[in-house]
Structure 1
Amino acid sequence: MKTVLTNKNISIRTRRRALECYIEPILMYGCEAWTISKQTQRKLEATEMWFLRRMLRISWTAKKTNDTVLEEAHTTRLLISKIRKRQATFFGHVMRREKLENLVTTGMLEGKRSWRKQREKLIEGLTDWLKAGKSLEAIEATKDRKKWRNMIANAVKQGT
């Protein structure tokens, strides 16, 4: 895809669409189950900017800010919000099923916990993104599809 994405004869809009159609799905494969820490988020944002810089043939040594690169590409950072939206949609689906996946996703399994630092749960990252307050509020919101979709849409609009 390098020849297509870096070709100056193809418009930037077409190259961006090729990036969204062919590269991003590979990058986001399985993202519904990821827990995104601050470090992971920075790496994903850096990857997104790396793709855009390669597409525009801007060297990493060039003194161009990410904002300038985004302006040249006529876009904004969308990767994290796409991942969060997919996670929220999947989470709502799992919560409505009320099966084993529900227990695993919420982390409410019986047994001893490790003495080490606890891992962040998917529900914690989603409640922060959705600004739902408590995880129980988010779980209750999944029962009503319309309310859940509105929560997701509001979070995507805010661009967080």
Structure 2
Amino acid sequence: MKTVLTNKNISIRTRRRALECYLEPILMYGCEAWTISKQTQKKLEATEMWFLRRMLRISWTAKKTNDTVLEEAHTTRLLISKIRKRQATFFGHVMRREKLENLVTTGMLEGKQREKLIEGLADWLKAGKSLEAIEATKDRKKWRTMIANAVKQGT
């Protein structure tokens, strides 16, 4: 894909679409089950910027800010938002199903607990507490509205 993504004869819009179609799905494989910490989020954002810099043939030693690179690429940071949207959609599906996946996702099984997916989603959706997010999943229309609002805010 390097030859396509770095080809100056192809418009930046087309190269961005190729990036979204071919590389982002590979990068985001299984992201519905990830727990995104601040460190993971920074790595994902750095990866997104690395792709754009490679596409625009901007050296990592060039003193260009990320905002300048985003401006040149005619885009904004979308990767984290896409991942969070996929997580929220999957989470709503799992919560409405009320099976084993529900217990695992909410952390109701015994054993060592790690940061729950729910807490990260509740923060992203601005739902306050994780219980509010769980309750919102029962009403599909309300849940979809919450997801759409979070995506619009670009958080």
- What displacement does 1:110 show? 3.5
In the alignment, what sits opposite 2:60? 60
Deviation, 1:118, is 5.1
Task: Assess if the C-alpha contact under 8 Å between 2:107 and 2:113 holds in 1.
Answer: no
Secondary structure at 2:48's aligned position in 1? helix
Q: Do the aligned residues in 1 keep the contact of 2:31 with 2:83 (CA within 8 Å)?
A: yes
Provide the C-alpha distance between the structure 2 equivalents of 1:82 and 1:110, rounded to a whole number of angstroms: 31
How well do the aligned residues superpose, as a CA RMSD in angstroms? 1.0
Deviation of residue 43 (structure 1)? Answer: 0.2
Q: Helix, strand or coil for the counterpart of 1:17? A: helix
**TM-score normalised over the length of structure 2:** 0.98
Question: Are 1:129 and 2:124 counterparts?
Answer: yes
Structure 2 Cα separation of the partners of residues 6 and 72 of structure 1: 14
Say which SS state the counterpart of residue 64 (structure 1) adopts. coil
Deviation at 1:10, TM superposition (A): 0.1
Q: Point out where structure 2 has 5 or more consecutive residues left out of the alignment.
A: none
CA deviation string 1:120-158 (max 9, x = no partner): 100000000001011111001000000000000000011
Deviation at 1:109, TM superposition (A): 1.4
Q: Given that residues 56 and 73 in structure 2 are in contact (C-alpha distance below 8 angstroms), is that contact kept between their aligned partners in structure 1?
A: yes
Once the two structures are superposed, residues 83-114 of structure 1 have per-residue CA deviations (whole angstroms, 9 ceiling, x without a partner) of 00000000000000000000000001135xxx
Query: How far did residue 9 of structure 1 move?
Result: 0.1
Q: Do the aligned partners of 2:36 and 2:120 also contact (CA within 8 Å) in 1?
A: yes
Q: Which runs of 5+ in 1 are unaligned?
A: 112-116
Q: Structure 2 CA distance, aligned partners of 1:47 and 1:110?
A: 35
Tell me which stretches of 4 or more aligned residues in structure 1 moved more than 2 Å: none
TM-score between the two structures when normalised by the length of structure 1: 0.95
Aligned-partner Cα distance in 1 for 2:19–2:55: 9
Measure, in 2, the Cα distance between the counterparts of 1:51 and 1:119: 31
1:159 and 1:120 map into 2 onto residues whose CA distance is 23
1:42 counterpart SS class: helix
Shift of 1:119: 2.0
- Give me the whole-angstrom Cα distance separating, in 2, the residues matched to 1:9 and 1:110: 57
| Cα distance in 1 between the residues matched to 2:46 and 2:102 | 32
* Residue equivalent to 1:47: 47
In structure 2, distance between residues paired with 1:118 and 1:100 = 16
Number of residue-to-residue matches in the alignment: 155
Equivalent positions of 1:109-124 (< 5 A) are 109-110=109-110, 119-124=114-119
After TM superposition, the structure 1 = structure 2 runs for residues 144-159 of structure 1, keeping only pairs within 5 Å, are 144-159=139-154
